Amino acid sequence: MSHEGHHVVALVGSLRAGSMHRVLFNAAVELAPPGMIITESPAIGDLPHYNADIDLDPYPAPVLALDAALHAADGVLFISPEYNYSVPGVLKNAIDWASRARPKSALRRKPSAVMGGSIGISGSMRMQYHLRQMLVFNDSPAMVQPEVILPKMQDRIVDGRLSDAPTRELVAKHLAAFDQWIARFKTP
């Protein structure tokens, strides 16, 4: 399956500077297959809390930036921890804005994939199935397998780098599959 390259926007669900999910994002950038470029979305921490009373003429600047980035992307990659057995509020808020930025969501028909991990045993899986349900609303086809669910993520990181070889292999496999997944949805 040849193509001219896919541009993927990543939404990172943690705002912490030293977040393990930022480490995972960095690994994803490195491990993307040839032709796939992954860049981070405009800062989701700058978005106001979604409120339908907010004047959208013009859009608040961070909403406009998020919408433009999503609109230009070939696919969207969610890289997120699990908070309270679900999606972090700040990431959910970004999805709330994305879904209203255009008449039928900036995520519409935009292929998506999900990665995440945890310090404990869940590996973020409870977050991932909630996120998948949100993507159904947005008509965003979310890639199925292979899932990237990483329990005890801290044991996979050394000196701020995703160092565990099987984890790196899984991330690479996930991104190669995502590249193919995006291609499937590019045909008319």
37 vs 119 by CB, closer to its own copies: 119
* CB 92, min distance to its own copies, A: 4
Instruction: Measure the CA–CA gap between 24 and 77, rounded to whole angstroms.
Output: 12
Burial of 58 by CB count in 10 Å (0-12 exposed, 13-18 middle, 19+ buried)? exposed
Asked if 169 interacts with its own copies (CB under 8 A), we say no
- Does position 185 interact with its own copies (CB under 8 A)? The reply is yes
At closest approach, how far in Å is the CB of 186 from its own copies? 10
Nearer to its own copies, 144 or 158 (CB): 144
Edge-to-edge strands, sheet with 75-79: 36-40, 6-12, 75-79, 112-117, 148-150
Asked if 184 touches its own copies (CB under 8 A), the answer is: yes
Binding region for its own copies (CB under 8 A) out of 32-40, 61-69, 123-131, 160-168 = 123-131
Rounded CA gap, 38 and 12, in Å? 12
Q: Which of 5, 37, 119, 129 binds its own copies (CB under 8 A)?
A: 129
Stretch that binds its own copies, among 16-24, 26-34, 57-65, 162-170 (CB under 8 A): 16-24
**CB neighbourhood size of 84 (10 A):** 9
Q: Are 20 and 158 in contact (CB under 8 A)?
A: no
CB of 94 to its own copies, least distance (A): 7
By three-state DSSP, how is residue 105 classified?
Answer: coil
Tell me the CA distances in angstroms from 29 to 1, 10, 58, one per residue in order: 21, 10, 33
Residues that bind its own copies (CB under 8 A): 1, 14-18, 44-45, 49-53, 83-96, 99, 121-123, 125-126, 129-130, 132-141, 144-145, 147, 149, 151, 184-185, 187-188
